[in-house]
A and B are shown apart, each in its own frame.
Chain A
Amino acid sequence: MARYALRRLLFVVPTLFGMSILIFAMVRLLPGDVVDAMFTGEAGAAATAKQAIRKALGLTDPLPVQYIRFVGGVATGALGQSLTSGERVSAIMARALPITVELAALAAVTATAAGVPLGVLSAVRPNTAVDLAARVGGLIGLSVPNFWFATLALLATSVFLHWTPPVTWIPPWRDLPANLAQMAIPALAIGVYLMATVMRMTRATMLEVLRQDYIRTALAKGAASRAVLFRHALRNALIPVITVIGFQVGTLIGGATIVEVIFGLPGMGYTLVQAIFARDYTVIEVAALLLALVFVLLNLAVDVLYGLLDPRIEQA
């Protein structure tokens, strides 16, 4: 297992390399740059002044030189400075990453805690009102835009509870209850989609597993149906569910991006969107790469976990 994990981890390196090329190419080859964004609305800005700033920021160097600077910086940890604020990119990331990670983790935990029981309930009562409600509810969960959910939740709490979210992020290590109160709605808004996905997947795999011979055998030998359900069925049914959660981490990160903007949480997504509007290349590159890296590593972790849970995988 350790060898498998190590091999997979090594495979992340070329993927990361490919991603860095893709990000760099997108950021540098698409039209407009940071200097244009700085001078928006100043039509009379002298071309020479713009060119001087570009030169100072290193934007006039040949593209391969700039790419090597980017990759070298990532490899050595010298990520450079924001082209607009001058703040160190590593400091910006250190501030933003915990917010996004906490949001995604809270969303994943909530979604799993609610989605699995709902899926089981739906599967053990197939084609009943409960099942239909769960199936339709699941599809509705897949269809609710998270930014709409977040907007309405914000509206409801301000109208009925007279509560508005604090304007700055409260780290969990400083004041955990206040932090959770602040993160609850955003995490729920992001988690609804995953909850629906987990519910649907649990239902599907439970239906599949409950048809297996070993379930019939367990029931025939007189095992309590509750024990069969949890010990024999659910444990096997959960394996694909874990994979699906891994796949959906990307949706969680994407959801976090937009929900952060709504709640003014200065996480990775918020930072990325601001940087894109400002064409702040160094921040865009690192933020995009970091988000993708988190995604890849989490998928890797899910794969390894999958192997631990299902010994058949390792031989394959």
Chain B
Amino acid sequence: MNAHPAVGLPATQVRRAAPPPRWRAFAARIRRNAIGSTGAVIILATLACALLGPLAWRTDYASQASRRLMAPSAAHPLGTDELGRDELSRIVHGTQVSLQVGIISVVIALVSGTVTGVAAGFYGGAVDAVLMRAVDIMFAFPGLVLAIVIAGLLGPSRTNAMVAIGIVYAPAFARVVRGSTLGVLGLPYVEAARSLGISDARIVRRHLLPNIMAPLIVLTTVYLSTAILTEAALSFLGLGTQPPEPSWGSMLNAARSYMERAPWLAVAPGLAIMIVVLGFNFLGDGLRDVLDPQLRDA
């Protein structure tokens, strides 16, 4: 966002005031928002679990050294699975998998959706018509169904699941970005920038993108939860992360065969999915209240 100072503009334009501590007021508002701050705490705890968990709980998630389907005990707080692997270490490793898939697929959706939406809103006319019809057609598919078709046809793997989820949710970003872009482009400061002869690229970078950030941040948070749920669903169906790598969805699917003997195996992965998704939903709700009151009911 920060332009290079040496672009030959008059000094008044180049000089920047020290950034006001807006984020501090923002953080204070999030803290006062009970639901939003609960979400932030859950997400921070999840990140800590993904990054530090493997250091704190050192049992190897792939080791099949223990007895199979053991009930929770001190040595295995969440028991062992059908191959004698420690369930807790697999849940901890699954946190990394879930967050990785969620973040990468949302980045794919965010980048491609933003490029599409800005192009459609900025250029209008035929570009807008073609891009938005394509978006409409993709919207005509139930999201999970499209993800299942793409991931299934690309071949079951974690990378393909990320690609599939990214493609499926890109249109949502494109629509919101296009709407916000049209809103911002109608404002006087954009007209002023245009009349000063500022290039399109610079208008997009300096005037447009910073001003559509609020809905984008909210949307990103919400879709992080959707993407994690979708990855779990794909893995549950065998279309996502493949064994032996642990993913919460595939762990839950495997647990179904042993439900009578080891019901705890069906509880932990689902609970993990729910907590992380809940965290992002809480955070998204809080961010929406703070950042974007107009989106509150959406």
Contact = CB atoms under 8 A, between A and B. Distances in A.
Contacts of A67: none
Interface string A3-17: 000000000001100
Contact of A145 (B35, B256, B263, B273): B273
A143 B141 contact: no
Interface in B215-250: 225, 229, 232-233, 236-239, 249
Q: Which of B137, B142, B143, B270 has most chain A Cβ within 10 Å? A: B142
A26 B274 CA distance: 32
B153 interface: yes
A288 B145 contact: yes
Interface stretch (A68-76, A108-116, A176-184, A246-254): A246-254
Contacts, number: 145
Nearest to A15: B140
Q: Is the interface of A mostly helix, strand, loop or mixed?
A: helix
B252 interface: yes
Interface string B128-156: 00000110111011111100111011110
B237 A273 contact: yes
Contacts of B61: none
Interface stretch (A84-92, A147-155, A217-225, A227-235): A147-155
A15 B132 CA distance: 12
B153 A15 contact: no
Given A148-B273, A155-B263, A272-B148, A258 B155 contact: no
A312 B269 CA distance: 48
A139 B155 contact: no
A254 B278 contact: no
Interface string A151-162: 110110011000
A152 B267 contact: yes
Contacts of B291: none
Contacts of A252: 142
Interface string B271-298: 0011001100110010000000000110
A154 B259 contact: yes
Contact of B274 (A135, A148, A240): A148
Nearest to B236: A147
A288 B152 contact: no
Interface in A18-71: 18-19, 22-23, 26-27, 30-32
A204 to B, nearest CB: 4
A30 B148 CA distance: 13
A306 interface: no
Interface of B: 35, 133-134, 136-138, 140-145, 148-150, 152-155, 225, 229, 232-233, 236-239, 249, 252, 255-256, 259-260, 263, 266-267, 269-270, 273-274, 277-278, 281-282, 285, 296-297
Given A240-B297, A252-B142, A291-B145, 9 more contacts: A18-B134, A18-B136, A26-B153, A144-B274, A145-B233, A148-B273, A250-B145, A254-B145, A277-B238
17 contacts: A15-B140, A18-B133, A30-B153, A139-B278, A148-B269, A151-B255, A155-B259, A204-B297, A205-B297, A253-B144, A253-B145, A254-B233, A257-B145, A257-B148, A258-B144, A258-B236, A288-B141
